[in-house]
Structure 1
Amino acid sequence: MDYLIIVIILILIVFVLAFKSVKILRPYEKAVVERFGKYQRTVESGLVFLIPFIESIRKVDLREQVVDVPPQEVITKDNTVVIVDCVIFYEVTDPFNAVYNVVNFYQAITKLAQTNLRNIIGDLELDQTLTSREMINTHLREVLDEATDKWGTRVVRVEIQRIEPPKDIVDAMSKQMKAERMKRAAILEAEGYKQSEIKRAEGDKQAAILEAEGQAEAIKKVADAQKYEEIAIAEGQAEATVDVYDAIHKGNPTNDLIAIKYLEALEKVADGNSTKIFLPAEMSGILGSIGGIAELFNDKDINKKEKISKKDKDPKIDRIMKKVEEQSKKAKKSMD
């Protein structure tokens, strides 16, 4: 019975010694080994053997971790109180420094982030604070990364979660934004109206130009048509005159025929209600023609062949003849 108890005790001692001497580290872990409280070595992941009751181990997680910085009130450069909080992402790069250079890393980095947030935002006005999140993130990350370098950690990134101004400031900013949007809408509407009027004026101008060009082209076409018509009429009259002139010369008319035609023309001139007859100014030629006419009517042979009774005489011819004689007498007197 005593032997069994001794075996059990020995087995328990072996298990305790094995538990104390063998440690397993996961792939994302590293550890520092201490011997009698003094740093001995840094071990990698895997199976680690220790001297029981002489060596101890302290594990360090190498994965990226998150620190949520609590909200705090910060005064901006223009004396506006805003509530700001952020999130910090970090990872351990040196287990020795992470274990021996800082007591409570979480608390240390939280306080460091809060103080640096006050410094950064205190140099900015409210509008800059609200619109410069990226700049604040970058600046804060650089400050924290430099400060935590001796702690064996690296600050990966910093993100501002919230920047909340007071309610009255938010209301004022909302009104300002609304007014600005209304202003832009009015400007865009006026610009659209301006562009519309410009386009309409350009269209009217182009239409007027095209209409004027069309009218000018039409007038030109009409003028060309009239010109061609007048030229054709003039050419026709010229050809007709030339043909008549040629026909007269080819026919070789006698003075008798000319006298008869002259009398026929006078008959047409005298045919009307007018009491006066104006003869041409070339009196010498007219008198010669009248003389030929007188000889024609005084010829005895013609009077015998073409004897006409007084009843059959045309009163118009008598009137013309009287007027011709009177005009010829006046013309002779004026020439004398």
Structure 2
Amino acid sequence: MELIIFLIFVVLVLLLLVTNICVVPQATAYVVERLGIYHDTWNAGLHFKIPFLERVAKKVSLKEQVVDFKPQPVITRDNVTMQIDTVVFFQVTDSKLYTYGVERPLSAIENLSATTLRNIIGDMELDHTLTSRDVINTKITTTLDEATDKWGIKVNRVEVKNIIPPPEIQDAMEKQMKAERLRRESILRAEGEKRSAVLVAEGEKESAILRADAVREQRIREAQGEAQAMMTVQQALADSIKLLNDAAPNDKVLTLKSLEALAKVADGKATKIIIPSELQNLGSLVTSIKEIATDPKPEQ
């Protein structure tokens, strides 16, 4: 019987020891109290809790956290009420301060963010507010970071997610944006038409230049062809004369050539052909030719 009681006691002790072994995950911290008073902060790893004397008061995540707060009503300097919602990125840097520094830290950050946002927007006009998100983000981040240091919180950045002006201002802005869009479209259309007209004019100009160049090139080629033909004829005539001179022709041959030339001349429409006196003395060869008088033949 005593053995059984002893075994039961041993089992209970083992169970008690096992249940008080704590394994802290990575990027997590445990705030431990002993007899209700802060004792230690356990980081990632294996730890042992003294039974009945120590307890884990809070498990704190050391990761960067993102909190999206609902839209807050704010009033600009020119008395325009807008709805602005923000996103806060923060990280716990001191688990003890985070546990004991403020009740409900997220709610405290939200209220502080709304208050800071109202103060910043209250010094700005509507137009400046809509175009100064970076300025608003920087100011809110600086203010929240300073205020949350005593809570063990580091505010890395704050982003203004949406700026929602009143409906009537939204309508006016939409009409203005539409008018601006139409104006830009008109400008782009006019520039396109202008560019098209310039391209057409340039095309016509280039076409006229090409046509003029083609005509000039054609005339140059024709002139070159005529000049080449004349040179060829003159060269042929010079070659024939040279060959005739090299052959040393007698008077009869020259007379025969003269008659051939006269025959070609006679093929024309001249009414009279006068034979040179040198040929008139050759009566034996030109007894039938003293004067050639031809009348133009009547056209059929």
Q: Same fold (TM over 0.5)?
A: yes
Distance of 1:242 and 1:141 partners within structure 2: 110
> CA 1:142–1:188 in structure 2 vs 1: closer, same or farther (change >3 Å)?
same
Q: CA deviation at 1:66?
A: 5.4
Distance of 2:252 and 2:68 partners within structure 1: 135
Which position in structure 2 is the counterpart of 1:82?
Answer: 82
* Mean CA deviation greater in 173-182 or 199-208: 199-208
AA in 2 matched with 1:84: I
Which position in structure 2 is the counterpart of 1:333?
Answer: none
Q: CA deviation at 1:91?
A: 3.5
AA in 2 matched with 1:59: K
Which position in structure 1 is the counterpart of 2:57?
Answer: 58
Matched, 1:126 2:126: yes
Q: CA deviation at 1:207?
A: 2.0
Q: CA deviation at 1:75?
A: 2.5
| Runs of at least 5 residues in structure 2 that lack an aligned partner in the other structure | 1-8, 282-287, 292-300
Distance of 1:104 and 1:243 partners within structure 2: 128
Matched, 1:141 2:152: no
Q: Please give the TM-score of this superposition, normalised by the length of structure 1.
A: 0.58
Q: Find the partner of 2:42 among 25, 40, 44.
A: 44
Q: After superposition, where does 1:79-228 map in structure 2 within 5 Å?
A: 79-228=79-228
| Runs of at least 5 residues in structure 1 that lack an aligned partner in the other structure | 1-10, 281-285, 294-313, 318-336
Distance of 2:22 and 2:240 partners within structure 1: 135
AA in 2 matched with 1:94: D
Distance of 1:34 and 1:176 partners within structure 2: 66
AA in 2 matched with 1:58: A
AA in 1 matched with 2:58: K
Q: CA deviation at 1:171?
A: 0.7
Distance of 1:252 and 1:246 partners within structure 2: 16
* Partner secondary structure for residue 160 of structure 2: strand
> CA 1:226–1:50 in structure 2 vs 1: closer, same or farther (change >3 Å)?
same
Q: CA RMSD in A?
A: 4.6
Distance of 1:147 and 1:201 partners within structure 2: 69
Distance of 1:149 and 1:273 partners within structure 2: 130
Q: CA deviation at 1:115?
A: 1.8
Deviation string 1:38-78 (CA, Å, 9 cap, x unpaired) is: x45224164422665xx776325335555554433222355
AA in 1 matched with 2:50: F
On the 8 A contact 1:25/1:48 being kept in 2, the answer is no
On the 8 A contact 1:32/1:96 being kept in 2, the answer is no
* Mean CA deviation greater in 108-117 or 132-141: 132-141
On the 8 A contact 2:32/2:40 being kept in 1, the answer is yes
Q: CA deviation at 1:175?
A: 1.0
- Percent identical among aligned pairs is 39
On the 8 A contact 1:23/1:49 being kept in 2, the answer is no
The answer to which structure has the higher helix fraction is: 1
**In terms of Rg, which structure is larger?**
1
Q: CA deviation at 1:135?
A: 4.6
Q: Please give the TM-score of this superposition, normalised by the length of structure 2.
A: 0.64
